[in-house]
A and B are shown apart, each in its own frame.
Chain A
């Protein structure tokens, strides 16, 4: 979607402010059951199924969801130009998945920079148990080479994936992340995408979502807890 027209911009505002209020609410105590699916509100079509938010997590900066999200069995092209399967490439690690694009000026680099800064605060042992995956929503410009160079600005260990747009969109949809195909993919254009980070455990399920704007400090506080939670689940605890 283009945001060069004011009409479009206003359309986008509805989705955004709802997202913002979701974030605010998540921090509040009195969050009941709410549907966090502002996700396609600016497009109107291809609205993903609602993601049921169970409520704020007292110990974490994410939002607990009632039905865990399944990590997609998605094979795309990695930054080396070879096929990479999301599940296999991140097997046994807590996997933070983010959909974005490199021509995004603000939220995408901010999210990547905050995650990279958070990982630098962890011990090498903790760090080794976490994978960060950036899946482009702009495969037209984000070639493996472009993504590799962009990710290297944050952390060379981050995994970058590109490929067929329809495939990426289809993988994002059940995760409640709405992607909108730009009306034009020549010249300068912007790409609308959900800005959540999804932490998939070793069970390949995400039990909570993180909306944009979680600071490096908050991530650094949460990641060890997510690792502990994941270890407990792996030992036979139920999700």
Chain B
């Protein structure tokens, strides 16, 4: 950590220290948040380049750092007027209205499991493009992420 003598010498460092202190306080506040609240973030969102011009799929992971779970109730996108949450099983696909997110856990949308179907994308999606996804939850505020379009067959590392 910064020594006091250096902080006095450069105001910029003092400012930096203040920022660190605020961040630390925020982290402390977060970790001391009531255990009964979900604390969500969305990571690893992507859309594989669709092989069909009429349908695409979106995948992501919702992480809940909070002490209470939540539910994903829908996903909207800038490229599709209609979206649907599905779960693929061995042989078929079912529409799901909401999907639970466990407290201190994660909900993973991945090929062959949960996915968001983007119907009739309004533009062609190529690697390098981005798709906006807005995830709505039962308890938490919506979260909007920009999902990159990845090559066909893409799998995120480690999943």
Residues on A close to B: CB < 8 A?
1, 3-4, 6, 8-10, 12-13, 15-20, 22-23, 38-39, 42, 102-107, 109-110, 112-114, 116-117, 150-151, 153-154, 178, 188, 190, 192-195, 211-213, 216
- Among B91, B115, B117, contact of A15 (Cβ-Cβ < 8 Å): B91
Chain A residues with Cβ under 8 A from B97's Cβ?
6
Instruction: Give 30 CB contacts A-B under 8 Å.
Output: A3-B92, A4-B95, A8-B94, A9-B94, A9-B96, A12-B93, A15-B91, A16-B91, A16-B92, A17-B89, A19-B90, A20-B89, A39-B91, A104-B55, A104-B93, A107-B88, A107-B111, A110-B111, A110-B112, A112-B51, A113-B153, A116-B153, A117-B153, A151-B51, A153-B152, A154-B152, A188-B119, A192-B92, A193-B92, A194-B91
Are A109 and B50 touching (Cβ within 8 A)? yes
Known contacts A106-B115, A109-B51, A110-B112; is A12 also within 8 Å of B86 by CB? no
**Cα of A6 to Cα of B85 in the assembled complex, Å:** 12
Q: Which 10 A-B pairs have the closest CB atoms?
A: A16-B89, A19-B90, A113-B153, A153-B51, A9-B94, A110-B111, A105-B57, A105-B117, A106-B115, A12-B92
For A101, the closest partner residue in chain B by CB is B52
Chain B residues with Cβ under 8 A from A116's Cβ?
152-153
Known contacts A113-B152, A114-B153, A153-B49; is A22 also within 8 Å of B90 by CB? yes
